[in-house]
Structure 1
Amino acid sequence: MSETSTRSRPTERTSERKTDEKVEHEETKTDVCPECGGGLVTDSERGETVCGECGLVVEEDEIDPGPEWRAFDAAEKDQKSRVGAPTTNMMHDKGLSTNIGWQDKDAYGNSLSSRQREKMQRLRTWNERFRTRDSKERNLKQALGEIDRMASALGLPENVRETASVIYRRALDENLLPGRSIEGVATASLYAAARQAGNPRSLDEIERVSRIGRMELTRTYRYVVRELNLEVQPADPESYVPRFVSDLELNEEVSRRARELVDSARKEGVLSGKSPVGIAAAAIYAAALLSNERVTQGEISEVADISEVTIRNRYKELLEAKSVDGTRVQ
Structure 2
Amino acid sequence: MQRLRTWNERFRTRDSKERNLKQALGEIDRMASALGLPESVRETASVIYRRALEDDLLPGRSIEGIATAALHAAARMAQVPRSIDEVARVSRVGEDEFERAYRYIVRELSLEIQPADPSEYVPRFSSDLTLPKETERTARKLISNAKEQNVHSGKSPVGLAAAALYAAAQLTNTELTQAEVSEVTDISEVTIRNRYQELLDAWDDRNSHASRSDTETPAQA
TM-score category, normalised to shorter length: 0.7 to 0.9
- Identify the residue that residue 262 of structure 1 maps to in structure 2: 143
In the other structure, the counterpart of 2:67 is: 186
The structure in which a higher percent of residues are helix is 2
TM-score normalized with structure 2 length: 0.86
1:212 aligns with 2:93: yes
For residues 147 and 269 of structure 1, the distance between their equivalents in structure 2, rounded to whole angstroms, comes to: 36
What percentage of residue pairs aligned between the two structures are identical? 70
Residue type at the aligned position of 1:274: K
Q: How many residues align?
A: 195
CA drift at 1:320: 1.2
Deviation at 1:323?
2.4
Q: Does 1:282 align with 2:159?
A: no
CA distance in 1 between counterparts of 2:192 and 2:51 reads: 39
CA distance in 2, matches of 1:223, 1:258: 34
Aligned match of 1:110 = none
1:134 match: 15
Q: Does 2:169 correspond to 1:169? A: no
CA distance 1:325–1:221, shift in 2 (3 Å): closer
CA distance in 2, matches of 1:272, 1:246: 26
Task: For structure 1, list consecutive stretches of 5 or more residues without a partner in the other structure.
Answer: 1-132
Following the alignment from structure 1 to structure 2, what is the Cα–Cα distance between the partners of residues 144 and 324?
49
Distance (Å, rounded) in 2 between the aligned partners of 1:324 and 1:198: 30
Q: For residue 292 of structure 1, what is the aligned residue in structure 2?
A: 173
The counterpart of 1:249, out of the listed 130, 145, 149, is: 130
Larger radius of gyration: 1
Detail structure 1 runs of 4+ shifted over 6 Å in the superposition: none
**Residue in 2 aligned with 1:273?**
154
Structure-2 separation of matches of 1:263 and 1:326: 14
Distance 1:225 1:289 in 2: 39
Q: CA deviation at 1:322?
A: 1.6
Displacement of 1:155 in angstroms is 0.4
Residue equivalent to 1:227 = 108
* 1:147 counterpart residue number: 28
Residue 134 of structure 1: how far off its partner (Å): 1.0
Q: Structure 1 residues 324, 248: CA separation in 2 closer, same or farther (over 3 Å shift)?
A: farther
Q: Distance in 1 between matches of 2:25 and 2:207?
A: 51
**Matching of residues 15-34 of structure 1 within 5 Å:** none
Distance 1:325 1:220 in 2: 41
Q: 1:324 to 1:148 in 2, by over 3 A?
A: farther
Q: 1:319 Cα shift? A: 0.9
Change (3 A) 1:287 1:324: farther
| 2:121 paired with 1:240 | yes
Q: Secondary structure at the match of 1:198?
A: coil
Deviations 1:1-36 (A, max 9, x none): xxxxxxxxxxxxxxxxxxxxxxxxxxxxxxxxxxxx
The one-letter amino acid paired with 1:279 is L
1:301 Cα deviation after fit: 0.3
Query: Quick one: higher RCO (CA 8 Å, sep 6+), 1 or 2?
Result: 2
Number of the residue aligned with 1:30 = none
Cα distance per residue 1:130-189 (max 9 Å; x no partner): xxx711111100000000000000000111101100000000000000010000000000
- For 2:31, the aligned partner's letter is M
The letter of the residue matching 1:266 is: K
Task: Give the Cα separation in 1 of the matches to 2:118 and 2:151.
Answer: 12
1:198 maps to which residue? 79
Instruction: Give the CA deviation at 1:326.
Output: 5.2
Per the alignment, residue 119 of structure 1 pairs with none
SS state at 1:323 partner: helix
